[in-house]
Amino acid sequence: MRRSLFLAWALVALANLPGCNVFGGSSDPPSGFEGWYHLDRPGRATSVTFSSYNLAEVRDLGCDRVLNGETAWSMDGDAVLLPQWTTPTPRFTQEGSPDGGLVANPGMYGSGSEQWLPGATCLICPQGDAGVAVACGAPSVLDGGL
């Protein structure tokens, strides 16, 4: 038992060493991919951020259903990929995006191109309404949502 606890502690300690990523890959998102990005979708607030240690956080908020998930990201040239999300793999680039956003081609929610704009979105869920997406600092459901 002690050996197992020590091994678990050692792995956590190694993974949290400053500047190290013992599990491989990049430890931080590439320049220009920091922060939250959102996709305008009717009745939903959909946001993504590319976090440290090749982990993307996805917040797909609806008044009827909230989908919060995490998935691995990887690099392919100047693109960030989400290989575990769907097939074909969503491919995010800065090329062709206005206002510092991202373009996903193919997108996360279809085979076409998607414009992801800077910043997160929250969802306001008034009683009996489908919901209204609004800009916010960190994605959440407001006003009596789930």
Output the domain CATH number for residue 46. Answer: 2.40.128
HSE, side-chain direction, 13 A CA sphere, residue 22: 9
16 in any annotated domain = no
Q: What is the pLDDT of residue 104?
A: 96
Task: Give the confidence band of 61 by pLDDT, cuts at 50, 70, 90.
Answer: very high
Q: What is residue 8's DSSP assignment? A: H
pLDDT, one tens digit per residue, over 105-123 is 999 999 999 999 999 999 9
Q: Is the pLDDT of residue 16 over 80?
A: no
- State the total domains in the chain: 1
Pick the closest to residue 74 from 31, 117, 104, 30 (CA basis): 30
pLDDT reading at 46 higher than 80: yes
- Backbone φ/ψ region at 120: left (φ over 0), alpha (ψ -120 to 50), beta: beta
User: Is pLDDT of 17 > 50?
Assistant: no
- What is the distance between the alpha carbons of residues 113 and 137, in angstroms, rounded to a whole number? 25
Residue 14 is assigned to a structural domain of this protein: no
Biggest CA-to-CA distance, the chain: 55
**Does any domain span residue 2?**
no
Q: Go through the chain and tell me how many residues it has.
A: 146
What region, left, alpha or beta, does residue 74 occupy, with left being phi > 0 and alpha being psi -120 to 50 degrees? Answer: beta
**E strand or H helix at 62, and its extent?**
strand 55-62
Instruction: Please report whether residue 130 resides in a domain.
Output: yes
Tell me what the pLDDT averaged over the chain comes to.
Answer: 81
**Residue 33 in this model has a pLDDT that exceeds 60:** yes
Q: Which domain holds residue 90?
A: 25-142
Question: Is residue 137 domain-resident?
Answer: yes
